[in-house]
Amino acid sequence: MPSPTPSLYGFSVQTLEGRAQSLRRYRGKTLLIVNVASKCGFTPQYSGLEDLYRRHKAHGLLVLGFPCDQFGHQEPGEAAEIRRFCSLTYDVTFPLFAKVDVNGPNAHPLFEFLKARQPGVLGSRAIKWNFTKFLVGPDGEVIRRYAPAETPEQIEKGLLPLLT
């Protein structure tokens, strides 16, 4: 008997503080999953992501940030440094998770799942840079992949129909 298609809710991730957390706790929420970095040209998007989160969290939106150091060593910090930078510089309150690889042999299984469900340009599965965003509906379906240059303000219209 073939194994069932994996579900987003079957994955476990580590919080920035190192605690294991199942994505099941986010069932029924609209998710914007983003690989983030503190020393990237797109880092100012933290402000827009936080704004989206604050304005729409009561309607079911969660932004989930996954620091990544695979692109030009743009996230060199340890967990405490990442938390401090995000809090002090951008007043980030949305959930942040442990640093992950999004490409290559050590890519986190969550990102392998996201890339398989929403490939990039010309079917490429590789994530090209930090601040690639994946929009996930309340049912766990990966709806859309957004390029790093697409700002939170530009993608807001696409997520509004998914909110309660």
Domain ranges, ordered by start, for the chain: 12-162
Q: Is the pTM above the cut of 0.85?
A: yes
Amino acid in position 78: E
pLDDT band at 2 (very low <50, low <70, confident <90, very high): very low
Classify the phi-psi angles of 140: left when phi > 0, otherwise alpha if psi is within -120 to 50, otherwise beta: left
Catalytic residues: 40
Find where tokens 């994955």 sit: 11
Predicted local confidence at residue 125, as pLDDT: 83
Q: For residue 26, give the nearest of 95, 92, 87 by alpha carbon.
A: 95
The CA distances from residue 65 to 4, 5, 99, in Å, are: 28, 25, 9
pLDDT of residue 20: 96
Average pLDDT over residues 118-129: 83
Task: Give me the mean pLDDT over the 141-153 stretch.
Answer: 96
Give the pair of three-digit tokens for residue 115. Answer: 């890339």
Return the higher-pLDDT residue of 1 and 160: 160
Helix (H, G, I), strand (E, B) or coil at 58: helix
High-pLDDT (> 90) share of the chain, %: 88
Q: Which CATH number fits domain 12-162: 3.30.365.10, 3.40.30.10, 3.40.50.20, 3.60.21.10?
A: 3.40.30.10
**Span 96-111, pLDDT tens digits:** 999 999 999 999 999 9
